[in-house]
Amino acid sequence: MIKGKISEIFESIQGEGLFIGERHLFVRFYGCNLTCKFCDTQLNHFEEYEPQQLFEIIQQRRNGSTCVVFTGGEPLLQVAFLKEVAGRTKKTGFKNYLETNGSMPEALEEVIEHMDIVAMDLKLPTSTGMHGFFKAHKRFLEIAMRKDCFLKTVVCLSTEESDIDEMIRLFRENRIHATVVLQPNSQELSIRLFKKIDRFKNRLLDEGIATCMIPQLHKIIGVP
């Protein structure tokens, strides 16, 4: 029987993106395929579960929550396990919400039928300190937009205008219709950073791309 590595399971309010403030049940998957320099998620332990075991825990801890968030790390690294669990939660009336770095389109294809919401991180090279993933993001979005999909992108003091140019090109050439959430790097909050985000936001809006700035609420109010 397939097993999955899970770092934590908890109920809290959604602190990021377009569903901010809603009460969700979070399942944090262990492991990630990227090493973004701004990453603030420390994954140093996990427990192994069979799909039915995890599903039963989700049922026990739902406490009125109707939405289960599969987050990480990167949930799509454990796509076979994710598919088994998401299939069960979907059948029992949960809304399935996937938080993902958008770099694994083939894995998304395997689970997209079970998802209701896809929150995809658009990784800007000058933010992450890594190479770009625009080619993978393009294919990923073709699949993700079958569902309710929006994009999050972390903006740092290091983020350059050239990455915004590339994002605009991605939207133009592929007729992408999804809201972009510009998320300030929580480790660099400053007037300088907010001014940069405001400039980026106005550029995207001028291109007809729905855009907003939303900080990480859970860090501001001190919840998980």
Return averaged pLDDT per consecutive 10 residues of the chain, 224 residues in all. 95 94 96 93 92 97 91 97 98 97 98 98 96 96 97 98 97 94 95 97 98 89 73
Is the distance from CB of 184 to CB of 215 less than 8 angstroms?
A: yes
Cα separations (Å) of 95 from 86, 114, 129? 9, 9, 34
Give buried/exposed letters for 139-170 (b at 16+ CB in 10 A, else e).
bbbebbbebbbbbbbbbbebbeeebbebbbeb
Encoding tokens for residue 150?
A: 């929006």
Taking the model in full, what pTM does it have? Answer: 0.96
What the chain holds in terms of domains, given with CATH numbers, is 4-156 (3.20.20.70)
Check residue 147 and give its pLDDT: 97
pLDDT of residue 1: 79
Whether 14 contacts 183, CB under 8 Å: no
| The pLDDT of residue 222 | 74
Q: What is the pLDDT of residue 218?
A: 82
- Nearest-angstrom CA–CA distance, 20 and 129: 27
Q: What is the pLDDT of residue 41?
A: 85
